[in-house]
Structure 1
Amino acid sequence: QAIFTSQCFNCIMTSKYNIITFLPVNLFEQFQEVANTYFLFLLILQLIPQISSLSWFTTIVPLVLVLSITAVKDATDDYVTLMYTVYVLQADLLLLSSSEPHGLCYIETAELDGETNMKVRQSLSVTSELGDPNNLARFDGEVVCEPPNNKLDRFCGTLYWKDCKYPLSNQNMLLRGCVLRNTETCYGLVIFAGPDTKLMQNSGRTKFKRTSIDRLMNTLVLWIFGFLVCMGVILAIGNAVWEKEVGALFQSFLPWDPPVDNFLFSAFLSFWSYVIILNTVVPISLYVR
Structure 2
Amino acid sequence: VLLFSTDPDGICHIETSGLDGESNLKQRQVVRGYAEQDSEVDPEKFSSKIECESPNNDLNRFRGYLEHSNKERVGLSKENLLLRGCTIRNTEAVAGIVVYAGHETKAMLNNSGPRYKRSKLERRANTDVLWCVLLLVVMCLTGALGHGIWLSRYENIMFFNIPEPDGHVISPVLAGFYMFWTMIILLQVLIPISLYVSIEIVKLGQIYFIQSDVDFYNEKMDSTVQ
TM-score (norm 2): 0.46
